[in-house]
Structure 1
């Protein structure tokens, strides 16, 4: 079948070239006849297309009248409308091919291939819906569902292409064997892509993170919004999307803030050495207990501990817990808590120091000629 089509195409090209050479060889070219021929062909094509468009419009209008305007918003109506458009387009294509003298075998093969492609599309829609419902019923992880849907779509498209090619007489076995040889060559040239693909499968199976988790990958903080077969997509708190190759993700350190539920935030606060850490704790704790975003669950109560004795301050640390849902607004919660602590310490008269240096000079006789004219009594002191 494929050889017959190829021979017919070659014969038609030879005939067209021969006719063209004959015209130019005679030295006379009837441009008017050529223009009339082209215009007539375009007119006929336009009429065919107009007829099919009109028929499609009539059918859609009838369906809308029958099912009612409210049901036209249902997704099934959209799928049915797409299928009708495809059928009318296929019919128009067959008519146009017949006009240009296509053989009956070619028309039959085109019709079978078109209908089979439509059948695969319908089967893909139905099975995809059933698979999605089944996975939702068993509450499978979103990343696993995404993997299953991607694999199912690739397999369906592969079978559809093979079936359509078979209708035109192509030797599918030879094509698959040839693609296997080509695939080996492409594999060497696309090692990075294949590595990312395999790493993506590994991530979906091992699941170090899931869609919706807040993670740090390669120093990039973000929320996982998609785990594709080649890349992992993160969305930062600034609403910036980052695509990281899966090979890089699998080989880097991954910090998952959402894996174990609640997350603890440590907020440093410094007070002056003359102040009491206990007094500062008594001022800060009521704020933490009343804050709506701070967890008060057993084992996750807010705390204020003495962390360190610094050079210029007594360093306290405020420890609070927040829910995984609040990881999106973690900086806002920390800023809000810190601002309330600052206002409460100021109101209580507790000093929040800034770094300063106190200098002591022993036996600084070299400064006496400078100090004595200005401060005689100070210069007399030993």
Structure 2
């Protein structure tokens, strides 16, 4: 029993000695690693703020895109700091970088569709085919843009519904932006039967255009005979209105045209036949 106790005491002393030697050996590495982690964390946060402020000062650079790039820079710095810390303890950093590369490739293949949306979101934020508040239309979706994210774009349809469109579906198709330019053109047409004056019909359409203050004077409204078919002719009015009130202007102009031609028909009917 005494011999076993002596052997245990000797083994304990040897273990404590080895632990002390290891503690002394790696104490400087541990302290250096902790300092490196603290400095790296502070440096990553500082560089992130500096990059975000610098990118935000670029005219036309989207805030979402600035946050994405500044956050990516921060995480790259943190990964490099962690690799450097592991190198302090003798870990082979080359194998770590190879493993990170393989993991990144595997994640990229698994999230291929998501990465396509991110790439499309970056291109949409850089090239700006549409902005928040503009009304757009594609072959698959239409509505007013609420928010442009890195993964998807939020829209509000004309009937007040919420719609979420993946960015890849907006990037790979033609987009019609109804709000980008300040003015838009509209056409009104009326069929004039045989025997009625085409010049009077054109004058009536021009009077309708001049009576609406929302019809732009430049470009000036014009009327013309669009087609002749049998006993009828089609007369058209082209005019321009501001995009923000285009829909209401077209409705008012359509109503005003109908009223004007009804009044013209009543006047014609009340005149005595020669």
Gaps (5+ residues) in structure 1? Answer: 1-104, 352-382
Aligned-residue CA RMSD in angstroms?
4.0
The offset of 1:338, in angstroms, is: 1.0
- Answer yes or no: is the 8 Å Cα contact 2:51–2:70 preserved in 1: no
Distance change in 2, residues 1:119/1:288 (3 Å): same
Q: CA deviation at 1:175?
A: 4.6
1:276 is aligned to 2:197: yes
Instruction: Give the whole-Å Cα distance in 1 for the aligned partners of 2:50 and 2:228.
Output: 67
**TM-score, scaled relative to structure 2:** 0.65
Partner of 1:155: 73
When residues 234 and 276 of structure 1 are mapped into structure 2, their CA distance, relative to the original with a 3 A threshold, is farther
User: Contact between 1:162 and 1:172, CA under 8 Å: does it hold in 2?
Assistant: no
Select which of 195, 204, 211 maps to 2:131: 211
Where in structure 2 are the equivalents of 1:125-204 lying within 5 Å?
A: 125=49, 127-132=51-56, 134-135=57-58, 140-143=59-62, 146-160=64-78, 163=81, 173=93, 174-204=95-125
Aligned to 2:253: 337
SS in 2 for 1:344: helix
Q: CA deviation at 1:214?
A: 4.0
> Is the radius of gyration larger for structure 1 or structure 2?
1
Count of aligned residue pairs for this structure pair: 235
Relative to its length, the structure with more strand (as a share) is: 2
Partner of residue 143, structure 2? 222
1:91-116 CA deviation, whole Å, 9 max, x = no partner? Answer: xxxxxxxxxxxxxx999988986786
Q: Normalising to structure 1: TM-score of the pair?
A: 0.49
Q: Secondary structure at the match of 1:334?
A: helix
Q: Which structure 2 residue ranges, 5 or more long, are not aligned?
A: 1-28, 268-274
Q: Aligned in 2, Cα 1:177/1:304: closer, same or farther, shift over 3 Å?
A: same
CA distance in 2, matches of 1:158, 1:350: 79
SS of the residue 2:150 aligns to:
coil
Q: How far, CA to CA, are the matches of 1:239 and 1:314 in structure 2?
A: 40
- On the 8 A contact 2:138/2:174 being kept in 1, the answer is yes
Q: CA deviation at 1:127?
A: 4.4
Q: Evaluate the alpha carbon distance shift between residue 180 and residue 124 of structure 1 in structure 2; reply closer, same or farther with a 3 A threshold.
A: same
* Distance (Å, rounded) in 1 between the aligned partners of 2:228 and 2:140: 31
Helix, strand or coil: the match of 1:349?
Answer: helix
Deviation by residue 1:202-232 (Cα, 9 ceiling, x = unmatched):
4455x37142554322253334454443334
The whole-number CA distance in structure 1 between the counterparts of 2:247 and 2:83 is 57
